[in-house]
Structure formats: C-alpha cells, structure tokens
Amino acid sequence: MMLNIISIVINVVFFIILNLDLYTDQVYLPDGIKREWHGSPIDRLYAADKNVLLYLYIFLAAVSILTGILLLAGIRNNVVKTVQLVAAIASVLMFIIIMAVAGNTHPTY
C-alpha cells in the first residue's frame, strides 16, 4: 500500500519538476542581438521536437496513478499490481531520460 502512495506522489512531483524553469537559454539572433530566456524541460523538448518523450511519460504516469488508485480502493488483483509496478518503474525511467535529453538539448534559431 505504501508503494502505491509513493508512486502517486512521485509522479505528481516529477510533473511539477518538468514544469519548473530550470534552464537558461542564450541565443544570438541574425541581427546580432543576444536573447536570453528561461525554460522548463518541457519547453526544451518542444524546441527540439522531441515531445513524444513527454507524451510517453504522461501516459506511463497516468497508468501508474490510475492503478495506484485502484489498488488503494481495494482491488487486489495480481495483474493490477504488476501493471502498477511496471508503470511506476517505467515512468521514473522516462523522467530520467527526459531530464537527460532536456539537459543536452541546446536550441538554435
């Protein structure tokens, strides 16, 4: 039961982290002006046209949260437990992959 609550909280915290402005990007425009702005990992994924990673993470997080809620509601099916465990692990791995890709993406315009 504790794993269900932890996976729900972790997925919510991960989504909040993905929306924080963690990166500062600097670009020289064609007219020579340097532009600087702050962006989140989600912004960087969209700038690099890798938003499929975000959609995959959202799907895995939703499956993990829904199965966690089902288990907390009293459904004790081994299939649901297995799906919840796999989805929780996969969503954590996708979060790590997204942060790595966003950290190594440097948009150029």
82-108 residue pLDDT tens: 999 999 999 999 999 999 999 888 766
State how far Cα 105 lies from the chain centre. 16
Query: Which residues have a Cβ under 8 Å from the Cβ of 69 and sit 6 or more positions away?
Result: 4, 8
Taking the C-alpha atoms of residue 55 and residue 77, their distance in angstroms, rounded to an integer, is 27
The whole-model pTM stands at: 0.86
Strand partners, 23: 39
Taking the C-alpha atoms of residue 89 and residue 94, their distance in angstroms, rounded to an integer, is 9
Measured over all CA atoms, what is the biggest interatomic distance in the chain, rounded to whole angstroms? 63
Taking the C-alpha atoms of residue 62 and residue 91, their distance in angstroms, rounded to an integer, is 9
Tens digits of residue pLDDT in 31-74: 888 888 888 999 888 888 889 999 999 999 999 999 999 999 98
pLDDT over threshold 80, residue 109 = no
- Report the alpha-carbon angle 104-107-109, nearest 5: 165
